[in-house]
Amino acid sequence: MTQWVESTEGGRDRGPRAVARAWFEVATAPSRFFRTGVAAGDQAPGLTFAMLVVLVAELTRFAFVPDAYPVVADSTLLSGALWIGVAVLLVAPAGLHLLAAVETLLLAAFAPDRGGVSETVQVIGYASAPCVFAGIPAPAVRAVCGLYAFALLVVGIRVVHSVSTNRAIGLALVPGVVAFGYGFRALDAIDTLLRNWYII
């Protein structure tokens, strides 16, 4: 998944099996994955990974959440296809690159030995791995997905951009809150859980 070329020597194989292996590795051994699984100058694998995560999450949401999307042309199926397509093909890539640009500006100020933009795209993309389950209509699940994804983002920034854990947490706040808190609805889920527990 790190070398989107015909020769995969030194990188990962491509295809569904490689994507599944990348998901498992980043979810279970993130430090090792970000150290060996992120290649300079190649954004395509991380972008593709993030788009697939969004696809699975939105398909799950469409299947289990009533009225998940506005209805178009009096067709629920057509509406689902339209809005899922927009989320996967437009919102996911645009959002990922925008957040990577913001993160790059932050890194320029606080990480002198940082990696390049392509590495940042991959870090954010791969950190979204837990969010494949974010479409499940259970606040606890969405909250865990968002928090775990944020933790993976912190690890990725620390490893790929050579910063301390505390600095990585600070650098991860903006893209993490936007991507996982708002994009995958983790903040809303956390708010719901807190209200149900009468904490707020």
Instruction: Map 104-121 to HEC letters.
Output: HHHHHHHCCCCCCHHHHH
- The helix (run of H) or strand (run of E) holding residue 44 is helix 44-64
Contact 186, 147 (CB under 8 A): yes
Q: What is the DSSP letter of 91?
A: I
DSSP state of 132: G
Q: What is the pLDDT of residues 129-141, one digit of tens each?
A: 999 999 999 999 9
Tokens of 12: 């990962």
Residue 191 pLDDT exceeds 80? yes
pLDDT value, residue 68: 80
Written as six digits, the tokens of 197 are: 């527990």
The C-alpha atoms of residue 101 and residue 114 are separated, in whole angstroms, by: 14
Tens of pLDDT, residues 54-65: 999 999 999 998
CA triple 74-53-3, angle to 5 deg: 135
Segment among 64-68, 103-107, 134-138 with least mean pLDDT:
64-68
The model's pTM: 0.89
Q: What is the mean pLDDT of residues 7-15?
A: 49
In 3-state terms the chain splits into helix, strand, coil percentages (rounded to 5) of 70, 0, 25
pLDDT at position 51 over 50: yes
Question: Does the structure show a pLDDT above 60 at 3?
Answer: no
Give yes or no for residue 198 having a pLDDT over 80. Answer: no
